[in-house]
Structure 1
Amino acid sequence: MARPRNLEKRESIRIIAERLMMEHGYRSTSYAMIAEQASVPRAQVQYYFPKKAQIVTGLLNRALDLSIRYIDTYGLQGSDGYATLFRAGQIYFTFLFQDEQLRRLTLDVMADREISSELLFLNQRWADDFLSPNLRVEGESEEAFAMVVGGTYELCYLHLSRGEKVDVVGTIRRMLIAFMTLTGTGAADARRVLEGAELDAKKTLDLAQKMRRELPEMPQS
């Protein structure tokens, strides 16, 4: 069991590493850079984080959790689970695409198969928080989720690699409609459920910017 001092040091290194990744991207943030900024030996960084991917997946996992927290804190729940999922996804993806630095980080993440596969699993767990038990992502719906969300990440990667803007609201709407239809909801019904479900653009951006400010300081779960 780690001693409190060890946990404090690990958290300090994590916060510095996450800030560097949000500023410089995943690929450009090296162990040596983290060690220098944290004033510790490189070996100590690698001791706490044997894989650099652990740092960025932890960051994105807490971004997902924080988007849920914002939905609850500010009373932004939708008319049903899918509408609420739409709104939480809007906050999360707006965070990822809000400026050039975070778009670089997101591009790095989506280009790395190990990280994007882990992110797909995290998204699945996250989606289950909003869906009723009979709609949980499992069995055939798990395959549908992987196909739809994986394809969405590929599309986002394509736009980012070309330096193009990602239409967050349109992308999430198409993703959810595709998932809903693959799991038995009629296309017209799926569109009706999500009609007008998106958050105000300014409110979404405000929350995404708030997330950027507080995310590195948010304790690991």
Structure 2
Amino acid sequence: MSRQKNMKKRNEILSIAFILFSKKEYNEVAMKDIADNAHISKSLLQYYFPQKKDIVAIMLTDLLQKSFEYIDYRFVNIKNIHLKLSVYTNLFFSAIFKQDHLKKFINNVIRNEDLLDLWINIVNDWLDVLDDTKLKNDIKDHYLIALTFSMSGGSKLLSKDNLEVSGKYIARIMIITFMNISDNSNSEIGQIIEQTEDLVTNTNIKDFEEYYQKRLIWYVNKEE
């Protein structure tokens, strides 16, 4: 019973924190702000989450894992690791551009080097467990380098409102960069882009959004 109560409080804290981080910049949200809004003491908050970045890290990890799950079950027949990553990136960034609160939260992740590194490593771990012989036999660091370069540069476009780029454009830039660094040919890259377009066009982005939102107890959809 005690464990259930603790998990309930933990998720309440995460919900409050998500709302705050989807309204303000990362540096504008203090631990005291989260504690006050959750109606708990700062010491109790730190019992659950010692540091502010721990809170964002948990939410980011949950969000990515649940959105990965959608890709793994919805596109179970896709075996090509580049195609699976491309489809995921398209859906994820398209969802971000449809939800201002999620875009603000992700921008807070991008602007924090430790959190951006966490994001990159989580994606890298997901790719590592996919059933792909080429990835298993290749040097893992090579893929991490490709992810770091493509995600760091591509995700930064998210905060450049003056450039008026779309989620699909960011995803395209990221997968092209990733595949180039991974020594894929222009022909191979073109095939992935074309196949991605077909798959994403036939996928309801709302299904993707609802999948991860319903499975994240702390998630607050402010657009509803």
Gap runs ≥5 in structure 2: 220-224
Structure 1 pair 8–102 and aligned structure 2 pair: CA distance change class (3 A): closer
Q: Partners of 1:79 and 1:131 in 2: how far apart?
A: 7
Counterpart in the other structure of 1:95: 95
Gap runs ≥5 in structure 1: none
Q: Please say if 1:36 is aligned against 2:36.
A: yes
- Identity among equivalent pairs (%): 22
Conserved? CA contact 1:90–1:169, under 8 Å:
yes
Counterpart in the other structure of 2:171: 172
Q: Partners of 1:132 and 1:202 in 2: how far apart?
A: 24
Counterpart in the other structure of 1:151: 153
TM-score for the superposition, normalised by structure 2: 0.78
Structure 1 pair 213–18 and aligned structure 2 pair: CA distance change class (3 A): farther
Structure 1 pair 41–148 and aligned structure 2 pair: CA distance change class (3 A): same
CA RMSD of aligned residues (A): 2.8
* Deviation at residue 193 of structure 1 after TM alignment: 2.7
Structure 1 pair 26–212 and aligned structure 2 pair: CA distance change class (3 A): farther
User: Partner amino acid for 2:172?
Assistant: R
Counterpart in the other structure of 2:132: 132
Q: Deviations over 1:58-106 (max 9, x none)?
A: 2122221112221244446546222122122222223333233222222
TM-score for the superposition, normalised by structure 1: 0.79
Structure 1 pair 115–102 and aligned structure 2 pair: CA distance change class (3 A): same
Candidates 141, 145, 149, aligned match of 2:143 = 141
- Range moving further from structure 2, 75-84 or 116-125: 75-84
Q: Partners of 1:125 and 1:87 in 2: how far apart?
A: 17
Q: Partners of 1:28 and 1:77 in 2: how far apart?
A: 44
Structure 1 pair 168–76 and aligned structure 2 pair: CA distance change class (3 A): farther
Q: Partners of 2:39 and 2:176 in 1: how far apart?
A: 49
User: Partner amino acid for 2:61?
Assistant: N
* Deviation at residue 210 of structure 1 after TM alignment: 5.2
Q: Partners of 2:212 and 2:54 in 1: how far apart?
A: 20
> Which aligned segments of 4 or more residues in structure 1 are displaced greater than 4 angstroms?
none
